[in-house]
Amino acid sequence: MKKIIILAAALLSAACFNSCKEDEVTAPPIAEPVDLTMTVENTSIVMGDDLVVTFTVEDDASETLNETIEINLSVTENNQDVSTLFKDFPKTVSFEKGESELQLTIPVGTVEGAHSVTLSAESRGYTIAGQPTLLSVADYRYVTVSVKDNTALEVKEGATFVLVASLEVPAEEETVINVAPKAGEENWYKDLPSTLTIAKDATSVESSPVTMVEDEGYNPMDLTLDLTTTSKLYPLANASLVISRLDNNEPLGTQVMDERYLYTDPDEMYVSSGNESAVKEWLSGAGLEENYVVRTVGDAHPDPQGLGLSKWTFFAAYEFHKIKNGTVSDKKSNDNTYTNEWYPACFADQNTQAVETAGACDNAKYAWITDGGYLRMITLHEQCSSARDKKQYDWGTSAFYANKFNSNNQNNHGFKPQNVRIYPGMRIEVRARIRGEKTGMLPGIWFQGNQAQGGTDPWVVWPAYGEIDVMENNTMTNNRNTVEQTFHVGTIKDNVHYNPTTGGVAGFSGIDEYNIYWMEWVDEENVRMGINGQENLAISKSEVEGKGWSWPFTTTVNKEGLHILLTMMFLGKQAPTNPSAYDGITYLTARNTEHDVKTSPIPRMEVDWVRFWIDNTYNCSLSRNTTLFY
């Protein structure tokens, strides 16, 4: 582009110098950029292999380039240049004018161990789809032994699990892996195989289900499986596998710290009768335990510790089952370079200005339903474009809403994310955990009045329409592992509104693990919220109005009810100042690597389920498509 522009200017200057008429000078047209696509022949390569990268023109109007362009290539690991893994890695290549394809063959150099690297390409003024791409580069092809769909390596007593031995390419020879429990731990397993054999031309093998043996006492422990192989071609990536045995007989903890005050087994999934066969197929294909119960509208809430929960009856749930053409849908990224096949059908993008203060919301890249059946929402330090204002940000993040009914747009009422009316007489529970580097982040679970959508004065302005922060991890505090619960109401006067808060819930410090955060819109005059079995904060109309503020939690003010928000926001509306722990991790790296383990630095909120319960005062005729959500 630059050469053509300079040439046009030079011709025009020469024309004027020779006193030619301006209309006799015709500058060559500036070339129009076209779309390119990068493809990689094999994303798993070892010493002796070649990295084959192909760039093609993908434009309907032009099958070839109309100018010569330069493409800059980089290959990084943990944000560090690792081009030395290849022989003569080309950091700049030319794609010639008139060509429709450019193919590069880059030999792998000397490598020690295994590396997960990111290949990126950019050319000024051109969009290149198919990048960045995640590559595996190693000295050998390693056999990995894991527990299927369980990177946390946690198995409850009485539950089953499946061992998987896998290669990234078809095996050139039969490969046998020996599996032996650590001495003294043999009796904790039933049907544990002594070997796993990957057949020639296969890429993996799965064991039959192995049972973690139950006992009557309380014996949580870490169990070790020792792994060996005689294969020289395919060495083991891990010499042992440590599995945490979780015991069902753990004594109850405090009400604020223990989910079992609400559910005997919080991991148990809810399934609609219409989805049961699809759920069974998904669980079987994923090697997951069939730990579910079929729920119908009107079923009483469990009440294992006698807290009075049975007054609430089941109404709806988002359980995040991984069902194609059901609870998930496809979603294109903001820049149209990536398609998320596991987007939650019950939610929509909360890509508002309040969310996009320091980064763009792109749920297609930064949120997905996992193999284990929960919604993962992450934040990463990488370039991301906004669908709202079309700007580029240095951060990408995730935020969702549901049930944001708009009184001025009746078409809005039929959208999939508009599926449950949140009205008085409803209890909502969200099971979630917050993991990764929390500094600079503000993950939250909120409810807001729908007067925010096309409402009228004075209620349309925040926080007059009402906000309930049922979970907020304010990392401005010293304790990064606790949460705040807060109400926001009232028309702002002199920079002040009414916001009673816990300021950090006393006795709570378990945000890394799943907890149940709940809110009850009891009636037109009372709202309360808590964590697990404990109520932490309540607010009433008489209290608020008695202090001179307005009360928004009525169906007169919020006739369209409330909506729910799940957000990975930025603390203080500023970009985090300490991203070094996860710099260089791209969305593709994050999506192709499970991060159940606590040690993963990626900031994330993981939501297991959202459940809606009602009592006999709730009044709504809204129909629900239960097969879509649970």
Q: What is the CATH number of the domain that holds 163?
A: 2.60.40.2030
Same-domain status, 418 and 462 = yes
Same domain, 360 and 216: no
Tell me the pTM. 0.80
Of the chain, the percentage scoring pLDDT greater than 70 comes to 92
Give me the chain's average pLDDT, please: 89
Residue 599 confidence class, pLDDT cut points 50, 70, 90: confident
pLDDT in tens, 489-510: 999 988 999 999 998 899 998 8
Angle among Cα 482, 484, 250 to the nearest 5 degrees reads 45
Q: 45-59, 278-292, 296-310, 583-597: which has the minimum mean pLDDT?
A: 583-597
Asked whether residue 563 is assigned to any structural domain, the reply reads yes
Give the single-character DSSP code of 551. -
Beta bridge partners of 104: 53
- Out of 243-247, 286-290, 522-526, least confident range: 286-290
* Residue 261 included in any domain: no
Helix (H) or strand (E) holding 307: none
Choose one of 246, 281, 306: the last residue of a domain: 246
For residue 76, the domain's CATH number is 2.60.40.1930
Q: How far apart are CA 79 and CA 61, in angstroms?
A: 37
592 has pLDDT over 80: no
Cα dihedral 179, 183, 184, 186 in deg (nearest 10): 20
DSSP letters, 130-179, are: T-SEEEEEESSPPBEEEETT-TT-EEETT-EE-EEEE-SS--SS-EEEEE
Residues 347 and 458 in one domain: yes
With the C-alpha atoms ordered 145, 148, 150, 151, is the resulting torsion angle positive or negative? positive
Which backbone phi and psi does 588 adopt, to 5 degrees?
-70, -40
Same domain, 567 and 597: yes
Does position 608 have pLDDT exceeding 90, yes or no?
yes
CA dihedral 292, 297, 299, 303 (to 10 degrees): 80
Range of the structural domain that residue 571 is part of: 317-629
SS3 224: strand
Q: Which of 217, 246, 275 is the last residue of a domain?
A: 246
∠ Cα 243 246 251 (to 5°): 155
Rounded to whole angstroms, the Cα distance separating 51 from 108 reads: 7
The torsion of the CA quartet 236, 237, 238, 241, rounded to 10 degrees, works out to: -90
pLDDT number for residue 607: 98
Does a structural domain hold residue 278? no
Q: Copy the structure tokens of residue 245.
A: 């045995």
Write out pLDDT tens, residues 458-469. Answer: 999 999 999 999
Looking at the structure of the chain, the number of domains it has is: 4
Q: Looking at the domain assignment, is residue 416 inside a domain?
A: yes
Same domain, 448 and 478: yes
In terms of domains, do 578 and 480 share one?
yes
- At 22 the pLDDT is 41
Same domain? For 467 and 607 the reply is yes
Among residues 227, 246, 265, the one where a domain terminates is: 246
Distance CA 598, CA 321 (A): 23
